[in-house]
Structure 1
């Protein structure tokens, strides 16, 4: 009997899946209301502007034009069967298909009051780009005396340097040593430097996965140009810029979709939801008030349905995330935080709770100023705190820390002979017990000096740990270690 029921259920499941697969696809004029992007046309165009990446060789040819796509918007709002109706060129066609498949935030068509499948046609526009030179397998760029790209400098700027970078034309990533030349009065090129291509494993895993920094790195430890964070499968997790090349920092998910974009000097960050809708837009706070919970202002935010919750910095917002349960560390549960924003800052009472009841908090803010609160732990124990987040600190304060560094550092003899000086930036994690771990040289100046800075920081005694709502947490800390010759 059980076998018979199992077979019957299996056949029913197959029949239902076949029925769904055979559901008709309607044309726009055959439905009562047509399929539209959630958030309107502007939301889809904003998504495309952030995610469409013109293929490298299409940039070289400065290709412009439209790829016309067709897709089926399913009753649940995602797209399927995306195809090229009229192409532009092969690499642009493939990029258009990739991007269109990522946007899955549609309000489905309806017919007789029911959501139905509908065919949509959409043009993906490839616009003109700044002309680029690609010769003998290398990207050629020119810079003025201040190392500003000639394409971005003031009218009439004279090129002083020329840079040659081998490029993998399929990925657009560098594929060999960067060579920098000085442009002589005669027009001839004098080689100034060669910078090798480096792939360096990151000390800390990203979501449990080993990642690598990839780009051109000088022997001093300084990165030149674009710096990529790659996953083990070679996909890009993040793209940032070195100090010499100011540019946005962009994070990508495993599908290649943009998760967030941060403008240079953290001027502002735009974050996206996995379905392609905007999540929030933050700007950097440049005012005089110092005692703020955060130094950014939340100016706009949306929920998963595309409804805008925060406008011009004001409104009620609800954060929903997945976190480890306090009652069972082997499973995840929903964490909900909510409260009001005023002029871009948290204001009034904010609450947070794990859906399974194993943790909650209530805290208050005054236009961004953190007034503290109380957390309730598993079993009913409560913790009161004066600030929601307290950074880790060296015992005795910064003056004691720099005194320790001064007494412990031994200036390498070879660096003294070569008159090497500057700051080495070391990162480490302050653990919940105050001990230090996961050390890394973020920016070095000379091999022996970098090694000495790392040795010195590793000899530091324990710190006071960082606190989140009264409980110790792991916090990453970046520390500049100065080397100056007297």
Structure 2
């Protein structure tokens, strides 16, 4: 009887480790999709927490482990916040969540590894393109060419904290800040801005007739004076979906600019806009 009990326990334990759920997402892992997409996340229930792996086109993008929850929905919401670091995506229930994440480059080499708890993030190590460690006692600088060589990106770490992140565009000779003390935002606030913009953008007639839905992404810069510049789509859904969104974004008044160390700075923003038919 003792032998039977032991075998049963081992089988149950093994089964709990193998529990896996797969979900598919939009381009930036912002929203779950019911259909298969190039972006997928695998969730595993094990060791009183949830292990996760993100893939783009079947290539590992990030991997990590989260403690403090056994809810996939809560894990998904928190990872959305961690990926974009937007205050509007933060929920007070995230205060109890903690764990580790490792980012992986397209070629499979390690990029960065950090631990997190609530809003706090502490970097364990970051690596250059050849996977050489750059942090000594949590302090160091990482500089590399990105966007097909069009930008030089610089990240500065001190005592395991990312204190500065900016890129310099070579052709335009300007500096874009990616880590700021305060992000750029509409003057009326995001809660009022989002439904107002959605109401202003008209649904393309042909898309309605054929039942076409879509998700478009529009990127732009917010200048030091708050003006929106270089507004352009990063998707191509067709049916003039991008054109309709661009038309309204071009009419927007200046935003509050991002600030860093008490001064306004130029920042970059990508806005997702979903076209969805309703009965």
| TM-score normalised by structure 2 residue count | 0.47
| TM-score normalised by structure 1 residue count | 0.29
More helix by share: 2
Bigger radius of gyration, 1 or 2? 1
If asked which structure has higher relative contact order (CA below 8 Å, sep 6+), I would say 2
